[in-house]
Amino acid sequence: MQQANSLPYVQFRRRLYFVIVGLVTFSIYLLWEVASFQWLSPEVISYMDTLRNSNYTRTLELAAARGLIYDRHGEIMAVNTLEYEIGISPNLVTNARQTATALAPLIGRPELEVFELVTANRPWVSLARPVSAEVAQQITQLGLQGVTIDPIPRRSYPQGTLAAQVLGFVNLDLKGNYGVEGYYQDQMAGQIRDRRVSTIPFEVPQSGWEQHHGRDLILTIDRDIQFLAESQLLSAINSTGAQSGTIIIMNPRNGEVLAMANYPSYDPNTFYEVEDPNLLSNPAISSQYEPGSVMKVLTVAAALEKGTITPQWTYYDEAQINVGGVTVRNWDRAAHGNVDVTQVLVQSLNVGVATISTMMGPTDFYNMLDAFGIGRRTGIDLQGEASGTLYVPGDAHWSESNLATNSFGQGLAVTPIQMLTAINAIANGGLMMQPHVVREIRDGERVYVSQPAALGRPISAETARIVTDMMVTTVRDGLDQASVDGYTIAGKSGTAEIPSPVGYEPNAWIMSFVGFLPADDPQVSILIKLDRPTSGNWASQVAAPVFQQLAERLVILLEIPPDDIRHALAAQGGAVNAIPR
């Protein structure tokens, strides 16, 4: 009894009581925590799902099939193909070294680098993307554990380099860049969605990945004419020593671009190998240059439209004229005496057009250049168009001498598409049409047809007819190198110096020729532009023959009858005023 009531025994019982109470309380708490898993908060559930998914799943972007691109006759220009991404789940690999040795030569990576990825402490690792279907098939046949092969939509261009800068390209993120791929990105791209996919290679994938197909484009481009233009341009580059160049072929009636060729170009299938990013842009719409004497046609048309001169107007040419402290001289430094307005174009006289522009005055002159679209974008449906450069009174860079030099295409800048669009107003009876490269957009069964749009009417039909006749005389009497047997050609050449920060470069020119045919019923217009050619000093020697060679083949390809046959058919009531292609 004394032992039971001893002080140590009493203390022991008291302590035991507290221990028992503590254990019971802690047990109840643990039971409560276990039971509470049935009522997890949304935040906790989300966290647990994320934790689980990070180990067993990953996010894959799934894109709809991109819209296809066709030329005007249904020839395919851009299609969709599949490439593949090779990945691996390291925790499922049984022999890391053997796996790395087998994969390294197929994916083109060092074996040690692949081994480090195969043994990484991650649930899934990307080894290579994109790889071809052939490589993916070879990897599949190896039967390696842990390897995943995921399809990746890719863009393919069956025509190779043909019309590359018109088409643009689709990057590895499936986004269109440049050309119609960039301009119509939202139309052509399907909806991109994220999807969680398993990192376990033998898990059955879920179905239902197919998404809505993007819209298809039907271009105004004719594949055969495009090939002709590119071939002719390459031949011209080789024969003239030019560093680069552009050819545009259009229907002046509706603004359709039949061909748009540039040199140098690139292959959109391997855009990522292009070292010079400037090759990706389209010089036909983005490269600005001083047009030279081609601008004289617009100066004469503007003065006739404003009534500043008449078709019978003459002046006395003394070889030079001073405007705003700058002396303007003719290309041959010669005085030509009494000259009429047609001979101003035939002989390409700087003094003549400078005289005309100063007679017009800055207000009328620059209003007319604006009406022709000089200094502003045409709105062509291609990504990357430049606006050109035109200084007007009030601008910091404008001076009175610009009134003279602008009249013959110096001191201002245009793009090739801008220049041809302005000349097309003359070919189309004074109505200037907006250039475009897409003829139709097809969305399943629905078809949206491009409607020709007018940019304005800078000159009347009568003025257009008068200037056309002058351009015909210019080719007949001064530019026989551009003539085509059996066809009446209206055209004008231009030789322009190349500006630099310290004036104009010596012995360096941009040479161009712009023309249309048949002159009395224009069905096609052509711009030739060659940069820094070395085979001659004047566009009449260098660019005009290129026009001739191209036009001779083009009239056959487009089935445009010679003038005598057209006139005979017209006399019998035949329809001969439409491009048959």
> Which pLDDT tens digit goes with each residue over 74-99?
999 999 988 899 999 999 998 999 99
Give me 247's structure tokens. Answer: 């050819």
Distance CA 354, CA 175 (A): 49
In this structure, which amino acid lies at residue 376?
R
Lowest mean pLDDT among 141-150, 233-242, 325-334: 141-150
pLDDT at 193 over 60: no
Decide if 293 is catalytic: yes
Extended beta strands in 470-566, E state: 490-500, 503-517, 524-531
3-state secondary structure of 443: strand
Cα-based torsion angle of the residue sequence 518, 521, 524, 529 in order, rounded to the nearest 10 degrees: 60
Q: Does residue 6 form part of some domain?
A: no
CA atoms within 13 A on the CB side of 393: 12
| Tally of domains within the chain | 2
Domain boundary residue among 219, 252, 287? 219
Residues 257 and 394 in one domain: yes
Residues 130 and 279 in one domain: no
Residues 214 and 336 in one domain: no
Give me 61's structure tokens. Answer: 């972007």
Residues 351 and 481 in one domain: yes
Q: Nearest Cα to 246, choosing from 367, 165, 348?
A: 165
Q: Does residue 42 form part of some domain?
A: no
Residues 280 and 182 in one domain: no
Residues 498 and 527 in one domain: yes
pLDDT at 158: 96
Give me 319's structure tokens. Answer: 């070889």
Q: Nearest Cα to 175, choosing from 63, 273, 252, 328?
A: 63
Cα-based torsion angle of the residue sequence 397, 400, 405, 409 in order, rounded to the nearest 10 degrees: 50
Residues 419 and 558 in one domain: yes
Residue matched to tokens 């990013």: 277
Give me 195's structure tokens. Answer: 């999807």
89, 265, 293, 483: the active-site residue: 293
pLDDT at 38 over 60: no
Q: What is the pLDDT of residues 309-358, one digit of tens each?
A: 999 999 999 999 999 999 999 999 999 999 999 999 999 999 999 999 99
Share of the chain above pLDDT 90, in %: 76
Distance CA 580, CA 427 (A): 19
Residues 337 and 253 in one domain: yes
Q: Does residue 271 form part of some domain?
A: yes
Distance CA 321, CA 189 (A): 58
pLDDT at 209: 37
Distance CA 68, CA 78 (A): 6
Residues 182 and 281 in one domain: no
Q: Does residue 408 form part of some domain?
A: yes
pLDDT at 204 over 60: no
Distance CA 408, CA 300 (A): 10
DSSP state at residue 505: E
Domain boundary residue among 193, 219, 245? 219
Residue 169 or 213, more confident: 169
Residues 169 and 290 in one domain: no
Instruction: For residue 26, name the pLDDT band (cuts at 50, 70, 90).
Output: confident
Q: Does residue 341 form part of some domain?
A: yes
Residue 447: which CATH number?
Answer: 3.40.710.10
Range of the domain at 123: 59-201+208-219
Burial letters 212-231, b for 16+ CB under 10 A, else e: ebbbbbbbbbbbbbbbbbbe
Q: Does residue 580 form part of some domain?
A: no
Residue 65: which CATH number?
Answer: 3.90.1310.10
Instruction: Compute the mean pLDDT over every residue in the chain, rounded to the nearest whole number.
Output: 89
pLDDT at 53: 54
Q: Are 523 and 558 in contact (CB under 8 A)?
A: yes
Q: Nearest Cα to 424, choosing from 258, 251, 252?
A: 252
